[in-house]
Amino acid sequence: MDAGTLELDPGFIDREDIVARLHFLEDMESRWPYSPAKDTPLADRIARCLTLLPNEHRSFALAAFANVVYLPTSLLTESWEYLAHVAAEGEGLSVGELIESAHFLEVDESGLVVDFLHENGVHGRLDTDRFSRLQTIDDLARALLIVGNDEANYKAVAKEIQLAFAKRYWLVLTDNALSGTSLKSDLERCRRLIHAYSELGEPRVVPIVQVLTSTAERNLADEWPVVSALRFDERFKIEAGNKSCTLFSSMETLEGVVELSRWLASQEYFQNDDRLLSTIDKSGDDMALGFKGGGWTLVTPNCPTNSLPILWYVQDGFYEGPFPRIMSRTSQVKGTGGGLTDAAEAMAPEILARIEATCG
């Protein structure tokens, strides 16, 4: 990447310590590759992005890219063991006691429950007499409706439901809680089902989060105390006038990154991208700084929409962020989940009677 060819200010690069920061990031990526980039070297991805930008935005883009917080899969996976110890200690239990007392749910169906149990050395995790296979709140609501609608296999499903409600805890796992929107929605749905089916048991809901932000923490408030491994606050947040931000050497650089972000959000190809329309609508703004105005520079194994779109957005030939996001992943916009919960609540008396008749 030639600073002269790209018309970058050498003084700016020195002041923001960009070379050293990018070398560190390249070293991280060489050890733990960012898989959505399909083996294209980081330097090449950054250079490609800069060539697509107007000159006045290039230096600020480089400053943003150099200040990415890179969180590889290996780091996040290892956090499950730490999180189990913290959660168990908070309840005055050993890890083994906590796990045997818990039903596990995950916010997005992505294998987090399996990873959590594996990293904590749990044997027999496929034993359905110990661990229910109803591993999302949607799974649980659907299972209740299977019983309610007297479907063919409802007796086996009823036993799994009974097992889940008999546990002392429901541990709700998620990788990222950056705005807290999806997590809070699932926690509220857990609460509603526990209330409707309290005859089966009243487990306590405990959210377990790998990456938490201060924004999500405020959204969840005191109502949902979170067990988290990594927490990021306003020091890592890109937002106009944010004097707490420590990512850059000056407010001028911060404001330049904000202006770059606004420029991208103002482009017609961004505003009319079918892949983003529902997410932008749910965000309630133009998403210049990410979903719900996130403003984070966090890069996880699939860069989250709460991070700056200048990091992850790709429209071939127009803009190509260096940490492309796989857009097909479950978004913030839930499908029929709320409707499933509504239906399961409404049918609670009939479903409870059928579970009692089946399981005793």
Looking at the predicted structure, is the pLDDT value of residue 259 above 80?
Answer: yes
Looking at the predicted structure, is the pLDDT value of residue 330 above 70?
Answer: no
CA distance 80 to 175: 10
Q: What is the pLDDT of residue 188?
A: 97
Structure tokens that stand for 18 in this block: 């960009």
| Mean of the per-residue pLDDT values of the chain | 93
The vertex-212 CA angle with 210 and 217, nearest 5°, equals 140
Residue-wise pLDDT for 13-72, tens only, equals 999 999 999 999 999 999 999 999 988 999 999 999 999 999 999 999 999 999 999 999
Q: What is the pLDDT of residue 336?
A: 54
Judge contact between 205 and 139, C-beta under 8 A.
Answer: no
Residue-wise pLDDT for 58-72, tens only, equals 999 999 999 999 999
- Contacting residues for 311 by C-beta, under 8 A, at least 6 apart: 64, 65, 68, 297, 299, 303, 321, 322, 323
Lowest mean pLDDT among 95-104, 128-137, 163-172, 298-307: 128-137
Terminal-residue alpha carbon distance, the chain: 70
Q: What is the pLDDT of residue 1?
A: 55
Structure tokens that stand for 34 in this block: 């960012």
Mean pLDDT for 318-335 is 74
- Contacting residues for 15 by C-beta, under 8 A, at least 6 apart: 249, 250
Q: How many CB atoms lie within 10 A of CB 63?
A: 25
Q: What is the pLDDT of residue 130?
A: 84
Q: How large is the C-alpha radius of gyration of the chain?
A: 23
CA distance 240 to 253: 11
Where does the pLDDT of residue 209 fall: very low under 50, low under 70, confident under 90, or very high at 90 and above? Answer: very high
Collapsing DSSP to helix, strand or coil, 128 comes out as: coil
The share of the chain scoring above pLDDT 90, in percent, equals 86
Q: What is the pLDDT of residue 109?
A: 86
CA distance 219 to 292: 11
Q: What is the pLDDT of residue 123?
A: 84
CA distance 1 to 306: 28
CA 289 vs CA 204, 241, 286, 295, 312: distances in Å: 35, 13, 8, 5, 11
Q: Helix H segments across the chain? A: 10-15, 18-31, 42-51, 55-66, 73-90, 95-100, 112-119, 137-148, 154-166, 181-196, 214-220, 251-266, 268-271, 277-283, 309-312, 337-346, 348-359
Where does the pLDDT of residue 235 fall: very low under 50, low under 70, confident under 90, or very high at 90 and above? Answer: very high
Mean pLDDT for 158-170 is 95
DSSP one-letter string for 61-97: HHHHHHT-EE--HHHHHHHHHHHHHHHHHHTT--HHH
Residue-wise pLDDT for 71-125, tens only, equals 999 999 999 999 999 999 999 999 999 999 999 999 988 899 999 999 999 987 6
Q: How many residues does the chain have?
A: 360
Residue 266 φ/ψ region, left for φ over 0, alpha for ψ in the -120 to 50 degree band, beta for the rest: alpha
Q: What is the pLDDT of residue 273?
A: 95
Looking at the predicted structure, is the pLDDT value of residue 5 above 70?
Answer: no
Q: What is the pLDDT of residue 332?
A: 46
Q: What is the pLDDT of residue 329?
A: 42
Closest CA to 306 of 71, 138, 78: 71
Where does the pLDDT of residue 225 fall: very low under 50, low under 70, confident under 90, or very high at 90 and above? Answer: very high
Mean pLDDT for 256-264 is 98
Mean pLDDT for 286-293 is 96
Structure tokens that stand for 113 in this block: 């429950």
